[in-house]
Amino acid sequence: MTAHPRAPSPTTFRAATAPPKEMEASVQRVIRATKDHSKFFEDAIPLIASENLLSPYGKELLISDLHSRYAEGLPGERYYEGNQWVDEIENECLSLARRLFRCNFADVRPISGTVANLAVLKAMTEPGSTIGSCRLADGAHISSASFGAFGLRGVKPVHYAFDTARMQLDVDATKKILLQERPKVCLFGLSLFLFPFPLGELQETLKEIGALGWYDGAHVLGLIGGGQFQDPLHEGCSVLSASTHKTLPGPQHGILLGQTEDADLVKKLQSAAFPGVTSNHHLNAMAALSVALAEHLAFGEEYARQTVANARALGQALSDRGFDVLCSDQGFTRSHTLAVRVEREGGGEPCSKLLVEAGIVTNKNLLPGDKSPKHPQGVRLGTPEVTRLGMKEREMERIAELFDLLLHRGKSAAEVREAARELKREFRTLQYCFGAGEPAYKYYDLVSRSS
């Protein structure tokens, strides 16, 4: 028989160790990479629809002592001591959220948009429940897929009819599906979010089947708060879930909002947030979210309006240069996002890789008709970050010209990267926030001793 080695006893086990100088060198490599990352974005044209920049006040709160603390439960009902100031912060954050979104319920404990979605699923569904949603190929977020949050909760999706030419629900066909399938909850939300949902046209059907309306506003939260999109909580949806760092220029965090007199639903949502899907709720990010909400109450209408105007202007400028921007007959978009079919230019993945070599940051994206998420024919563009930096319609023309030079006129990535850097040189400070004019990509060198 083969003898098996004996496991070391607790008295002989030694923890892994390494020389301090070696580990300090490792830390320095991480710091250098972080600096390189910041420098890249300082010079680049950032067009990721799901990214934005946090204000100086928000950044300062992220590195505060709040980062090190726990505050399980609701304000005044904590399981840890030392939370009296956390309670003050959270109550302020909740008040600002209710004011901005004109609602009577808010919970700021989810730590991301997907975690907020999980909380809604826990509160409003049971395993085996049917739930209405869009397909991934029609622009839905991965959390509504069987391999995402839907699968984790064990719900069964019922997919709406979608008009791919308009990038919008086919209302009549969707009504028939809802009446036949009778889902318990109907989710309205997209990751490729070009136009508002026709919520008003579906309300009578939702009432007839007794379905609760749920809106995933992660991408368009800042547009909703700025009054430049639809207002789902006042168009029939009971609950709005979202992340807080896209068109709302806040920290990476999550939020639940509601306009409801249903005390049982509120209780279920609060219980789902904690202890359901979160423990500690990242207090530093919650404090930074308070800043973002206050800034949006002060500057959000102007910022959201310019964000949408920039997206529409960029769509027109790209279309004028021969790019296949979806929904040209509808003004391309009513949000911050554009979808561009780049099959003629080589496909979504090759184009996005070539663009980033040229200092233009986008992402490949599924479009209707695509079969593979790894090799789609589209790229997704967004204007939240460039707007945050002060760019307006004339800069969208210049960005479209960079696309044309690279993808149509054969200029090298190096040539276009230099042109992108020259454009970006004028737009490196934050706007629409307290502390406007501060460097957007500043690295606060608190730790590094390297040059």
pTM attached to this predicted model: 0.94
Residue 25 domain-assigned (yes or no): no
In a domain, 154, yes or no: yes
Considering the domain architecture, whether residues 260 and 361 belong to the same structural domain is answered as no
Amino acid code (one letter) for 348: G
Is 371 part of a structural domain of the chain? Answer: yes
* Residues whose CB is less than 8 angstroms from the CB of residue 263 and which lie 6 or more positions away in sequence, other chains included: none
Residue appearing with tokens 């699923």: 121
Provide the domain count of the chain.
2
323 and 282: one domain? Answer: no
Cα radius of gyration (the chain):
24
237 shares a domain with 349: no
Left if phi > 0, otherwise alpha if psi is -120 to 50, otherwise beta: which for 312?
alpha
Pairing of strands 212-216, 239-243: parallel
Within a domain: residue 132?
Answer: yes
DSSP β-bridge partners for residue 186: 132, 213
Residue 23: in which H helix or E strand, if any? helix 20-43
Among 245, 266, 293, residue at a domain's last position = 293
126 and 251 assigned to the same domain: yes
Please report the pLDDT score of residue 177 as a whole number.
Answer: 97
Predicted pLDDT of residue 446: 61
pLDDT value at residue 450: 47
The pLDDT profile of the chain, 451 residues, written as one tens digit per residue, is: 555 656 656 566 677 888 999 999 999 999 999 999 999 999 999 999 999 999 999 999 999 999 999 999 999 999 999 999 999 999 999 999 999 999 999 999 999 999 999 999 999 999 999 999 998 888 888 887 777 788 888 899 999 999 999 999 999 999 999 999 999 999 999 999 999 999 999 999 999 999 999 999 999 999 999 999 999 999 999 999 999 999 999 999 999 999 998 999 999 999 999 999 999 999 999 999 999 999 999 999 999 999 999 999 999 999 999 999 999 999 999 999 999 999 999 999 999 999 999 999 999 999 988 888 889 999 999 999 999 999 999 999 999 999 999 999 999 999 999 999 999 999 999 999 999 999 999 887 765 554 4
Q: 268 and 153, same structural domain?
A: yes
In 376-442, which ranges are E strands?
Answer: 378-382
Claim to verify: residue 80 and residue 220 sit in the same structural domain: yes
Total length of the chain: 451
Same domain as 265, residue 120: yes
* Residue-range definition of the domain harbouring residue 329: 47-54+299-424
pLDDT of residue 12: 66
- Taking the C-alpha atoms of 32, 432, 216 and 280 in order, what is their torsion angle to the nearest 10 degrees? 60
Q: Is residue 3 part of a domain?
A: no
Domain-terminating residue out of 237, 263, 293:
293
For residues 82 and 189, membership in a common domain is answered with: yes
Range list of β-strands (E), 34-123: 45-46, 73-74, 77-78, 105-107
CATH of the domain at 134: 3.40.640.10
- In a shared domain, residues 264 and 177: yes
On whether both 258 and 400 belong to a single domain, the answer is no
Judge if 163 and 272 occupy the same domain: yes
Residues 277 and 118 sit within 8 Å (Cβ to Cβ): yes
Reduced to 3 states, what is the DSSP secondary structure of residue 107? strand
- pLDDT of amino acid 66: 98
Q: Are residues 380 and 253 in the same domain?
A: no
What whole-number distance in Å separates Cα of residue 361 and Cα of residue 416? 13
For residue 8, being part of any structural domain is answered with: no
